[in-house]
Amino acid sequence: MPSRPRVLAIGAMLSAPTLLCASCDRAPNASSTPTAASAAPAAPPASSTPDVSAPALPPLGGDWLVRLRLEKFFDAVVAAPIGTTSPRPVLIGVHGSRDRPEWACGEFLGVTKGYPFILCPHGVPNHAEPLYGFTTAEDLKLEIDAGLKALRERFGPYVAEGPMIYGGFSRGAFLGVPIVADDPARFPVVVLGEGGQSSWTDDRASRFARGGGKRVLFVCSTPDCEMATPPALAILKRAGVEAKMITAGHIGHIVDDRVVTLIRGSWPWLVRDRTGPLGPW
């Protein structure tokens, strides 16, 4: 069982007081959870880099953190690139067990500096406190699909067509591997934090590579993660997939400002070929 984590602000990284998640086993913070879109804080600025290949759109307005109503699922949470005048790509941010979607959105907001749409599935209750998790990869995939449908209905032409990035932490990483292996054309780039190593098999890695999978980034902050990652790296590299591990040291099963900064440092490697209609990440 990981030690009790912390929730840290990254105001030095962003222009808004975004809260980062701490781990899949953290205490709830009701003040960080908007009950409606209007309750979200002021938006961090979207990237100023335009996508010249896309038609001009009016600047996207509204709240930067919104909820999307989904049929058969709890509301998804979205961090939107407020101010953009061009279509932006999508990153799927999946939290761990005993966790919350707002925290996953906050983490990847810090990593990407608010450039893409960040869609964070909600999950189902798995604790007496208001904390959530995911049961199976099949259910998670259905929830992602429902969220993407609602995202496109809500934001229309602001959502770019084409491949997306899958980012998962702990349980979200473990369940994400079969999803991306089955649909690598949709998720060719993957970030797996503190989990997912044991989910990679030679068959999954081969299918991921054959279908267009490009690279996988493993993010560790515990000794167990560091020890579990080399076999997964070997499996992926045998299949022709670029893969590497980065580590924040032995700071616990958490995501804090140190982990966000670490991932941002490897972001150019992860997305170096993401150009054209998907824009520079």
pLDDT in tens, 119-154: 999 877 776 667 667 788 899 999 999 999 999 999
Per-residue pLDDT at 18: 36
Residue 274's identity, in one-letter code, is R
3-state SS, residue 192: strand
pLDDT in tens, 179-215: 999 999 999 999 999 999 999 999 999 999 999 999 9
Residue with tokens 């953190």, as numbered in its chain: 65
Q: What is the mean pLDDT of residues 235-261?
A: 96
Per-residue pLDDT at 281: 57
Per-residue pLDDT at 128: 60
Based on its alpha-carbon atoms, the radius of gyration of the chain, rounded to whole angstroms, reads 17
Burial 119-144 (b: 16+ CB within 10 A, else e): bbbbbeeeeeeebbbbeebebbbebb
Per-residue pLDDT at 39: 33
The phi and psi torsions of 69 (rounded to 5 degrees) equal: -70, 130
Residue 245 confidence (pLDDT) above 50:
yes
3-state SS, residue 9: strand
Per-residue pLDDT at 263: 96
Residue with tokens 């054959």, as numbered in its chain: 210
Q: What is the mean pLDDT of residues 259-281?
A: 77
Q: Could you tell me which residues are beta bridge partners of residue 166?
A: 92, 190
Q: How far apart are CA 171 and CA 176, in angstroms?
A: 8
Q: What is the mean pLDDT of residues 265-280?
A: 72
pLDDT in tens, 6-50: 333 333 333 333 333 444 433 333 333 333 333 333 444 444 444
Q: How far apart are CA 221 and CA 183, in angstroms?
A: 28
